Amino acid sequence: MILPSQLGFLATLAALLNCSPAATLHVPTIYARALDGPEALSESYDYVIIGGGTAGLTVGDRLSEDGKTTVLVIENGELAHSDEINNVRDRVTWNAEPWWLYNITSAPNTELENRESAVIIASVTGGGSALNGMQCVRGTTDDYDRWGSFFGGSSTWSWDGVLPYFIKGLHFQPPPKEAADQMPGIKYDESYWGNTSRLYAGWPSFQWPGIKYQFEVFTKLPGVGVPEDSGAGQTGVYWYPTYMDAEGSINRSYSRTGHWDGLNRANYHLITESKVTQIELDGNKATGVVFRPSQVDGGEGEFTTVKANKEIILCAGTIHSPQLLQLSGIGPRKLLESARIETKIELPGVGQNFHDHTTLHFEIQFRNYSIRPNRRDDFEDPDFITWADNLWAANRTGPWSRALWNTGAWLGLPVVAPEAYESIAAKVDAQNAADYLPTGSDPTVIAGYQARLVSLAEAIRRSNNVFYSHYFSGDEPVNYFTYEHPLSLGTVNINVSAPESEPIVDYRTYSNPVDFDIMLELARFHRRINVESPLLAQFDPVETSPGLNVTAREDWVAYMRRNTEPSSMHPTGTCAMMPLELGGVVDEQLRVYGVEGLRVVDASVMSVIVGANLAGTVFAIAEKGADLIKNGAE
Ligand SMILES: Cc1cc2nc3c(=O)[nH]c(=O)nc-3n(C[C@H](O)[C@H](O)[C@H](O)COP(=O)(O)OP(=O)(O)OC[C@H]3O[C@@H](n4cnc5c(N)ncnc54)[C@H](O)[C@@H]3O)c2cc1C
Ligand SMILES: *[C@@H]1O[C@H](CO)[C@@H](O)[C@H](O)[C@H]1NC(C)=O
Ligand SMILES: *[C@@H]1O[C@H](CO)[C@@H](O)[C@H](O)[C@H]1NC(C)=O
Ligand SMILES: *[C@@H]1O[C@H](CO)[C@@H](O)[C@H](O)[C@H]1NC(C)=O
Ligand SMILES: *[C@@H]1O[C@H](CO)[C@@H](O)[C@H](O)[C@H]1NC(C)=O
Ligand SMILES: *[C@@H]1O[C@H](CO)[C@@H](O)[C@H](O)[C@H]1NC(C)=O
Ligand SMILES: *[C@@H]1O[C@H](CO)[C@@H](O)[C@H](O)[C@H]1NC(C)=O
Ligand SMILES: *[C@@H]1O[C@H](CO)[C@@H](O)[C@H](O)[C@H]1NC(C)=O
């Protein structure tokens, strides 16, 4: 145990070293009472939270809000100088400092010509919510009812059981009239939103005028409507907000601003630049957490142990939560044995059931598009930049005030592929789950996959499940679309020859071949609507990739192998909330099976991904998880 006085010394040393640009040594900085400065770390806390990301800080805030319950959050990344994160113009990942992301490359993807891909996840206080595209969407009622369905009829993990936590978790700002005027077809209903959270959903003051054509072409499709609100749990075409405070600064709103900054609570501590390496178990009870400075050269920083009086809450995200369980002896026995880690609690599902939204690159250009005086290339054009800079300086409006996108289509297969969806569903019905999982998968994991396939075959037949999504930019079509419910499952397992190095992330994209069938339908639909629709003909669209000569199935499949991205930066599923006999890792109270005093609360608990970008769902899971913990639910 390192003494608080030593930690104070280290923090001072860090401050001194940080003055020198040549310094590479980082040591932990302890923040207590919201950025008061270095404070002593206690030997124990009521709750120790691993990971100060999207879920971690949300749970930390809720558990400490009585002013008495002591909470420590341990975060691997730094407490970044927030300008680069706040400032709208520099807000998205591509402006992130490299050390705000983990440096992980996936395993070669067999069905993607052995391509490896970057695994993009955040390593900074606030986690994904600090770097994401700020798109605030929710998915459909079916997504949430599906989670509970695996537990039988009466689960509180259902749309009705989660909606109150969306309402608690987000403070909605209706668009000012000038902004609403730029969003043709916008509908919203404040009853789906709350007004108490310090985390905001607001609206930029600028949208490209051409957006209305992309919106309209989708709303004219049979079976496609505009739901009463983007958060109503329906498929369709809609406008959705950005994680920002429209009435105030138009800065990013994220877990740090909503659940840490300004709280000033003596009982809520955060230590950053510190990596948890192990959860300590006493028998089957989780008692403490071991961590050390994360960025010391060579990783030789000193280990520190902190004890939890009540519980440890794992919020390290989909890639690292299963890694920490496995490192601590909780996971598949064969894997742990080959890594020479003692199996303390055998739990075959840890790290299995990994999935993400996949995307297909699809490039369309509008050759006759005079609605907007500038095209994508204009972002390099000095005249365009001057124009945008001036708008921003004068009124904080124009392109720089916008985050990624605020509208799109979110559609089910009966709409996208009315001729094909039934035969695709029938194919899934006939599948034997074991055929599409890694050989040697545990019978409970196989049973869990079979249950998912049954549920997803049903989802294919029901229109209120998103399979296709596409954002509208209003300048040119966004150069990809997203497949929201892939069937294939991957794994995130420790590297048995170096367990503490980054885990092996194996997407196994298209390992279930029905994903080729579905992607093909999505691609044909995408072309039909965006390239061949008479409504868009006036813009003279040209499909530059794949190109209209790609029509035969084998050509499409070849194209997909080269142009599918396995991730939309929405990894999920590796600590699934499922019954134990279905390969689950946590129960409905988010407690790790077989372990006392340990829960997982983050994106990894989704048994099946939702048909939406994940951050809103993670905030809702965190709010609900905090309530479950406080109520000591049995
Ligand atoms: C670039 C990008 C763009 C995205 N765009 C959108 C979007 O527009 N809209 C949307 O809804 N969603 C988006 N997402 C997805 C969404 O942001 C994530 O799904 C969500 O933030 C995940 O939350 P989490 O709490 O599970 O994990 P995270 O927020 O990633 O938090 C995990 C935290 O744990 C820390 N950690 C990990 N291991 C350790 C350890 N051993 N010790 C200590 N700390 C550790 C990490 O550093 C991290 O801060 C995007 C994600 C990314 C990365
Ligand atoms: C908004 O972000 C900018 C840039 O980081 C910062 O200077 C400003 O203080 C922020 N405003 C508020 C209200 O937080
Ligand atoms: C990422 O890892 C690779 C291979 O391990 C290494 O070569 C590269 O320098 C790393 N990049 C960063 C930014 O740390
Ligand atoms: C906040 O929401 C509640 C419940 O919907 C509503 O009664 C109240 O008027 C709202 N307050 C503000 C300031 O909007
Ligand atoms: C800024 O807003 C004011 C008031 O709405 C308006 O008069 C002015 O033209 C705007 N400036 C720019 C550059 O748009
Ligand atoms: C596993 O770790 C070993 C030892 O560091 C390394 O050589 C190997 O490349 C890693 N394997 C993978 C698949 O990353
Ligand atoms: C190009 O667009 C203009 C209006 O923006 C329209 O009048 C014209 O017919 C279009 N040309 C073609 C070839 O579609
Ligand atoms: C389609 O045309 C492009 C460009 O001419 C060519 O590169 C590609 O191989 C063609 N694809 C097929 C399937 O014919």
Distance 365 CA to ligand 8 centre (A): 18
The minimum-distance atom of ligand 1 relative to the CA of 102 is 47
Query: 20-40: per-residue pLDDT in tens?
Result: 222 233 344 544 333 334 457
Give yes or no for residue 24 CB within 6 A of ligand 7: no
Looking at the CA of 569, name the nearest ligand: 1
Ranges of H-type helices in 89-134:
128-131
Confidence (pLDDT) at 1: 24
The minimum-distance atom of ligand 8 relative to the CA of 555 is 13
Ligand 6, pocket-test mutation among 114, 116, 493, 501, most atoms within 8 A of CB: 501
- 610 a known binding residue? no
* CA-nearest residue, atom 2 of ligand 3: 103
Distance 584 CA to ligand 1 centre (A): 22
* CA-nearest residue, atom 8 of ligand 7: 538
Looking at the CA of 86, name the nearest ligand: 2
Give yes or no for residue 76 CB within 6 A of ligand 1: yes
Give yes or no for residue 538 CB within 6 A of ligand 7: yes
Rounded distance between C-alpha atoms, residue 487 and residue 509, angstroms:
9
Give yes or no for residue 621 CB within 6 A of ligand 1: no
Confidence (pLDDT) at 402: 83
Residues with CB under 6 A from ligand 5: 391, 394-395
Residues with CB under 6 A from ligand 2: 82-83, 86-87, 248-249, 251
In the numeric block, the tokens 């030593």 are attached to 6
Give yes or no for residue 66 CB within 6 A of ligand 7: no
Query: 442-465: per-residue pLDDT in tens?
Result: 999 999 999 999 999 999 999 999
The minimum-distance atom of ligand 6 relative to the CA of 495 is 1
Give yes or no for residue 370 CB within 6 A of ligand 7: yes
Distance 442 CA to ligand 8 centre (A): 44
Assign 543 to helix, strand or coil.
strand
What HEC string does 129-142 produce? HHHCCCECCCCCHH
Give yes or no for residue 36 CB within 6 A of ligand 7: no
* CA-nearest residue, atom 9 of ligand 7: 538
- 124 a known binding residue? yes
82-258+354-633 folds as Glucose Oxidase; domain 3 (3.30.560)
Distance 546 CA to ligand 8 centre (A): 8
Nearest-CA neighbor of 408 among 87, 86, 92, 138?
Answer: 138
* CA-nearest residue, atom 5 of ligand 7: 370
Give yes or no for residue 196 CB within 6 A of ligand 6: no
CA atoms within 13 Å, Cβ hemisphere of 371: 19
Confidence (pLDDT) at 562: 98
Looking at the CA of 494, name the nearest ligand: 6
* Cβ neighbours around 106 below 10 Å, total: 21
Confidence (pLDDT) at 92: 56
Strand order in the sheet with 236-239: 236-239, 407-411, 468-471, 480-483, 358-361, 564-565
Give yes or no for residue 500 CB within 6 A of ligand 7: no
Ligand 3, pocket-test mutation among 24, 26, 103, most atoms within 8 A of CB: 103
Give yes or no for residue 370 CB within 6 A of ligand 8: no
Q: What would the two tokens of residue 235 be?
A: 């498929």
Q: How far is CA 248 from CA 168, 278, 554, in A?
A: 20, 41, 53
Looking at the CA of 366, name the nearest ligand: 7
Assign 122 to helix, strand or coil.
strand
> In the chain, which residues have pLDDT < 70?
1-39, 88-95, 248, 295-300, 370-380, 633-634
Assign 603 to helix, strand or coil.
helix
Phi, psi of 562 (to 5 degrees): -90, -20
Sequence spans of domains, the chain: 1-29, 82-258+354-633
Rounded distance between C-alpha atoms, residue 282 and residue 344, angstroms:
10
Distance 14 CA to ligand 8 centre (A): 57
Rounded distance between C-alpha atoms, residue 502 and residue 282, angstroms:
26
SS3 content of the chain, % helix, strand, coil (to 5): 35, 20, 45
The minimum-distance atom of ligand 6 relative to the CA of 107 is 13
Distance 549 CA to ligand 8 centre (A): 6
Rounded distance between C-alpha atoms, residue 558 and residue 523, angstroms:
13
Confidence (pLDDT) at 6: 27
Give yes or no for residue 504 CB within 6 A of ligand 6: yes
